Amino acid sequence: MTDQKMTKISFTKMHGCGNDYIYVNTMLQHIADPQAAAIAWSDRHKGIGSDGLVLIGESPVPEADYSMHIFNADGSEAMMCGNASRCIGKYLYERGLTDKTSIRLLTLSGVKTLLLHVEDNKVKSVTVDMLEPTLEDERLFVPTRDIKSGVFVSMGNPHYVIFTDDIDQVAETGSKMEYHPAFPQRCNIEFARIEPDGAIRTRVWERGSGITQACGTGACATAVAACLTGRAGRKSDIIMDGGTLSIEWRESDNHVYMTGPAEFVFDGEIEINCKS
């Protein structure tokens, strides 16, 4: 019979505009089953409470300094998260793991460069080079007649942006559209409204997590979609439930740059069962 023993895992809770994750430094600790951990720990009543689990690790390739793996609250692995990447930049710098203010982060959607804006040894905000958007990908999006009119944009993960005055339909409509047959790999769904001052108020249903306070890749996708449809220029402020992200889609390199805050919430330890 296999005995069970308990071990403690140290973690850090962080958020970017309210998009909160549990961060574990896997250079010091090993998480044997991150999918199960993400499900259990993300529970806001019986766990730590979060939108998912983020693992910070060494990079297996010389093109990057560190790696990031993200597991949503439902245990599915995400390709990329802009808010989480900003938090990792703050974590690495303020916890003394690096003194660089430009960090190359390996994600499942490529290497992203983080530019840290530091004042008095504190990271006040982070700009992330989110690389080029992909506007058409038949593997991810197959249009059908019954789907709501929107714009498909991939930021390394799939997004469908719907411009509407009724952004509060996010729960009812977003939950259905995530699993719509038009999106074979499921999809993040944004509901966006242009404000009188030109800012874009956006709510998001994230694939694997549901409604979140903010979504960095979603903000980027929304800004690109707004520019493509003539609703905005190449710079936009995206106002999400948890805060505002500044997005620039540069003509010079066709890359999307996202700037926003990152915050520590608390550190803690959680016990897990291990087989002996």
- Secondary structure letter of residue 113 according to DSSP: E
DSSP for 143-211, written as a single string: --TTSPP-EEEESSSEEEEEE-S-GGGHHHHHHHHHT-TT-TT--EEEEEEE-TTS-EEEEEEETTTEE
Q: What's the alpha-carbon Rg for the chain, to the nearest Å?
A: 19
Q: What SS3 state is found at 134?
A: strand
Residue 24 near residue 9, CB atoms below 8 Å: yes
Residues 6+ apart with CB under 8 A from 57: 26, 27, 66, 67, 68, 69
Residue 157 near residue 109, CB atoms below 8 Å: yes
- Report, as residue numbers or ranges, the catalytic residues: 81, 215
